[in-house]
Structure 1
Amino acid sequence: MARTMGGEVSVRMDAPPSRVWALVSDVTRIGEFSPETFEAKWTRGSTGPEVGASFKGHVKRNGVGPTYWSLCRVTKCEPERLFEFSVGADGVDINNWGYRLEPDGDGTLVTEYFRLEPKWYLRGYWLLLGALRGRTNERGMRTTLERMKTVLEAD
């Protein structure tokens, strides 16, 4: 994973893509699931998932700090299939996060992923800290997906 400047984790959930989609595309619920992002809210007049919609996430790095707000913009939005957003300042994207949904029998295979932008300074960061950060992100994605699975399968 270190060479790709990203990573992904997949978990099968006993819920149809429509229910999974409603959960992963509602950024206001991420605080229930993520070990790092404890709240998020739509901004700049956005009220829901669509390409170009803006939101910000309140992050506690590594679950301990520092704490900061991340600006995000939805970049891909295909209901019941794909939800992706970029993180960074206006015009300066740092990384991308997303969820891919694939029907799997009566359930859904859900893949959460992240991918850093291929910029020189991020390549340097990844070279030095990529393996460590990649493992942290993958643990966090697995935690997020397992928590979502618990909620979806309890209904």
Structure 2
Amino acid sequence: MRGSVTVTMAAPPEVVWDLVSDVTRIGEFSPETFEARWSGGATGPAVGAYFKGHVKRNGVGPVYWTKCRVDQCVPLEDFGFTVVVGDRDVNHWRYRLKAVPGGTEVTESFALETQAWSKLYWTLLGWARGRTNERGMRQTLERIKAIAESADAS
């Protein structure tokens, strides 16, 4: 009920951080979330800030909005958020940045909340969804990498 992908980018952590923590740019990177906007008065990344993500599941549908809460926000190191449905935490997404010689190692991960419904879902469909998530995370990170390594990072 979890997975991760790591990609090394030839860009400094400052550039990568600006990309992964600006949820309004997620539509440029994600194969499923095609837009997002800060909500509840939030204007940028901070622990406790909320945003809404507009999702097209598996890139084909259904299409729906998610409510997300920022849970980790350590500039240049760690940006994480939780997808919330009603009053329940459902899925945790995280970007961890690590400065390495010549750039930044970025790990994107997800961890589905362990609840009765998620255990059943993961047992029946988890193998497929896990692969879809890992492909999507790799695609997201490769798109971020292309922008971070270009002159057009801002």
Same fold (TM over 0.5): yes
If the TM-score is normalised by the length of the shorter chain, which range does it land in? over 0.9
1:93 aligned onto 2:95: no
Superposition pairs for residues 4-153 of structure 1, below 5 Å? 5-153=1-149
Q: Aligned equivalents of 1:125 and 1:30: distance in 2?
A: 26
Report SS of the residue matched to 1:154.
coil
Q: Percent identity?
A: 62
* 1:88-146 Cα deviation digits (max 9, x unpaired): 22421110111000111120000000000111211111111111000000000000000
Structure 2: runs of 5+ lacking an equivalent: none
Most deviating of 90-99 and 56-65: 90-99
Q: Aligned equivalents of 1:136 and 1:60: distance in 2?
A: 13
Report SS of the residue matched to 1:74.
strand
For normalisation by structure 1, the TM-score amounts to 0.95
Amino acid at match of 1:33: F
Structure 1: runs of 5+ lacking an equivalent: none
Q: Aligned equivalents of 1:89 and 1:55: distance in 2?
A: 13
Amino acid at match of 2:89: D
Most deviating of 121-130 and 63-72: 121-130
How many corresponding residue pairs? 151
Which consecutive aligned stretches of 4+ in structure 1 deviate over 6 angstroms post-superposition?
none
For normalisation by structure 2, the TM-score amounts to 0.96
Report SS of the residue matched to 1:47.
coil
Q: Aligned equivalents of 2:54 and 2:4: distance in 1?
A: 22
